Chain A
Amino acid sequence: MRSQLAPQGVEFTRVSENLITARRIARGITFVVLVAAAAMPLLLRSLGAWSGYPAWLAWLLPAATLAAVVWAFALIPRQVRAIGYAERNDDLLIRQGIYFERLMVVPYGRMQYVDVTVGPLERALGLSSLKLHTASPSTNAALPGLPATEAARLREQLTARGEAKLAGL
């Protein structure tokens, strides 16, 4: 599916493919827990502890959950590849999402501060997350899964440009 939002003639840099692994691990755990929870009634029923539970629901619930989870799992690579950013002269462009797509532009002069965070899983895969904050709480400019060196470079670059283009509020 071609993106309608991505502007013409802008080359977006993708985040690291390692983010796919990171998300697969993190979400995989959540998904297993979800499916296990949805399968509980079925287990109870087959053990005879909850015989009044309708059979069709007992099978449908975990099946539907499993289908949703498998689909969400299969989407991870495309979601990760949909995350991109582009540094322009005055501002930073960030795009994300495939079905619910968002394109954001943050002027360098509006940045109040830049956060770089690293979790244990990210550290193991050599990744960092970067987040830009402006004076607006609606600015949700996060870039997950940057290679650690790229995150450091971007942070320095952004703060340097922010200082150069600084505008008050």
Chain B
Amino acid sequence: MSQPDDAAAGFGTDGPETWHHVHPVSPFVRGWVAVLAVLFIFGRNGMEDLFRGLANGGDYAPNTAPVWVILSIVGAAVVVFGISFYLSWRFTRYQVTDEYVHINSGVVFRQQRKARIERVQAIDVVQPLLARVFGLAELKFDVADGGKSAMKLAFLKLDEARRLRSAILARAAGLPADPQGPAVVVEAPEQVVLALTPGRVVGSVLLSGITVMALVLSAGVALLVVRTGSVAVLAAFIPMVLGVVAAYWQRFTTDFNFRVAVSPDGVRLHYGMLETRSQTIPPGRVQAVGLSQGPVWRMLGWYKIHVNVAGYGADAREGGTRTVVLPVGTQAEAMVVLGLLFPDPGVDNPHEVFAAGLNGTGDAQGFIHSPPAARWIDPLAWRRTAYRATATALLCRHGILYRRLQVVPHERTQSLSLYQGPIMRALGLVDFELHSTAGPVRPVVHHMDLAAAHQLFDEQAARAAVARRIHRSERWMEAAPAPLVELVETASSAPAASAAPVAELVETKVPGSETKDAGSAP
């Protein structure tokens, strides 16, 4: 620890000896499903036995368990859950110092995790429904380990979670501690730039792929009914109907009340109806952006925006919602969000260029599309398949029916490759791939002219090298405090830029004999 407690207190960070516990109700909020399941199974059996006994004339049948057995089993379950919950709570401790977040957990298998604060890729404050009832929230601290959600604090009081988030972000930003300052964390002011109306969310859900699937299914069912002449087959499709309704409901409750806000700590997304979530993506953590528009949405001019963030990874566990920064938006709204993610587009007329990327064909606005030879393998979209390199990013345009635009900042390119199969070789075409971190956006330029691809390959390698060299610090405020929009340009390369590899995550596991976290185990 570099600083003693009192100096750190200005930002509410802890000294080496200060440890905190999560909220005592947490294990119950996490384990309530298990508790309910046990109570339900034993309770139902007991009730059934009881009623069967009553039906048999008031006496228990000889093969049913007497009341005291049932009660003692339930009592034992309560005691076991109570003890495991207590131990799990007792052994989970956390500490946020100036440089590290530590979390110690586990009863028998102890786990000590320590992550460097400036390595933070994203912070989420999540409130599942039951946690909201108790006024609790879960804090997730993501580092670049491919979306395994390294540090989780479940659960804290909502205020405490937000205070910790501000403290972590302030530290990660490299704000100097104020020795005279009071021990109050000033939460970075947040400004809502865009909010989706419930009508828009309903519209987007109804006009999504779920409806297409539902229509295909209904057509199939109708055909079956007509062919067999029996209405009884309909009953077999009730689970499917339920599935479709559940999918609609899931999408609607997730995207409900979606708001995009901006603060000096980065872009903040709020969304959710039952489980609410607020995600913070600090500046410079976005690895790639993908905008997409299906054929139905085109009639309404709607777009969806995904991002690659190293901390989110492939995002399969969360249902793919964390990587969505705009579930549905008009072109103007999409531009606003794009502007937040990339304050510096690297061209003088970003609106025209991005519009050409979203909707244009041919070589308007400096886009370079596939050569005519590509018609043989890409007859419809070859004039849409295009790229444009700006001073700061590479734009890849795809698709005629399902339109996509991918934006990759030069300094975020991990590696590059050229690929050519036998047909492409005969036509003199090459695929140009950019490798980004794991996520929904996999940037690639298809079917480029051979000479152009070679040129882009060399230029892009050089541009990425230059961009990396002038790449700003991970601590986005280490330079003099700058107005939000100028953040990208002002922050120069600070010592932190030359830090250690991706996830400097220290994880110590002490072998014992039991599962790693008794709280989530039951």
Contacts and interface: CB of A to CB of B under 8 A. Distances in A.
Interface of A: 4-5, 7, 90-91, 99-107, 109-110, 112-113, 134-139, 141, 165-169
A135 B417 contact: no
Which secondary structure dominates chain B's binding surface?
mixed
A135 B468 CA distance: 15
Nearest to B462: A90
A40 to B, nearest CB: 32
B194 interface: no
B501 A112 contact: yes
Given A7-B458, A138-B433, A139-B435, A105 B416 contact: yes
Interface residues of B, number: 42
Nearest to B436: A136
A112 B502 contact: yes
A156 to B, nearest CB: 17
A110 B412 CA distance: 10
A48 B287 CA distance: 64
B286 to A, nearest CB: 10
B461 A91 contact: yes
Nearest to A5: B418
Interface of B: 121, 144, 146, 285, 287, 310, 411-412, 414-422, 425, 428, 430, 433, 435-438, 442, 450, 454, 457-458, 461, 464-465, 468-469, 471, 474, 497-499, 501-502
B454 A139 contact: no
B468 A104 contact: no
Contacts of B287: 169
A83 B63 CA distance: 74
**4 nearest CB pairs, A to B:** A136-B414, A136-B435, A104-B417, A167-B468
B194 to A, nearest CB: 27
B425 A4 contact: yes
Nearest to A137: B438
A16 to B, nearest CB: 23
Given A101-B425, A103-B418, A107-B468, 15 more contacts: A4-B425, A7-B454, A100-B421, A100-B422, A101-B420, A102-B420, A105-B457, A112-B501, A136-B436, A136-B438, A138-B433, A138-B442, A167-B497, A168-B474, A168-B499
A107 B415 contact: yes
A123 to B, nearest CB: 29
Nearest to A90: B465
Given A5-B430, A167-B497, A105 B421 contact: no
Given A134-B435, A166-B498, A105 B468 contact: no
B465 A100 contact: no
Q: Which of A90, A100, A168 gathers most chain B CB within 10 Å?
A: A168
A105 B416 CA distance: 5
A136 B314 CA distance: 11
Contacts of B458: 7
Contacts of A141: 415
A168 B435 contact: no
Nearest to A93: B461
Contacts of A105: 415-417, 457, 461
Nearest to A164: B498
A7 B415 contact: no
B417 A102 contact: yes
A166 B496 CA distance: 11
B501 A113 contact: yes
Contacts of B417: 102-105
Contact of B416 (A104, A135, A165, A167): A104
A107 B435 CA distance: 12
B309 to A, nearest CB: 10
Q: Which of B442, B461, B474 gathers most chain A CB within 10 Å?
A: B461
28 contacts: A4-B425, A91-B461, A91-B465, A99-B422, A101-B420, A102-B417, A102-B418, A104-B416, A104-B417, A105-B415, A105-B417, A107-B415, A107-B461, A107-B464, A110-B414, A112-B502, A134-B415, A135-B310, A136-B415, A136-B435, A136-B438, A137-B146, A139-B414, A139-B415, A165-B468, A166-B501, A169-B285, A169-B502
Nearest to B308: A136
A67 to B, nearest CB: 18
A165 B474 CA distance: 16
A136 B442 CA distance: 10
A106 to B, nearest CB: 4
Contacts of A169: 121, 144, 285, 287, 310, 412, 437, 502
A167 B471 contact: yes
Contacts of B438: 136-137
A109 B415 contact: no
Nearest to B442: A138
A7 B457 contact: yes
A132 B105 CA distance: 34
A10 to B, nearest CB: 10
A105 B453 CA distance: 13
A169 B309 CA distance: 10
A37 to B, nearest CB: 27
Contacts of A106: 415
Contacts of A113: 501
B396 to A, nearest CB: 14
Contacts of B468: 107, 109, 165, 167
A141 B415 CA distance: 9
A76 B99 CA distance: 53
Contacts of B454: 7
Contact of B144 (A100, A103, A135): A135
Contact of B420 (A5, A112, A134, A138): A5
A39 B369 CA distance: 49
Contacts of A99: 421-422, 425
A79 B421 CA distance: 14
A142 B153 CA distance: 38
Contacts of B430: 4-5
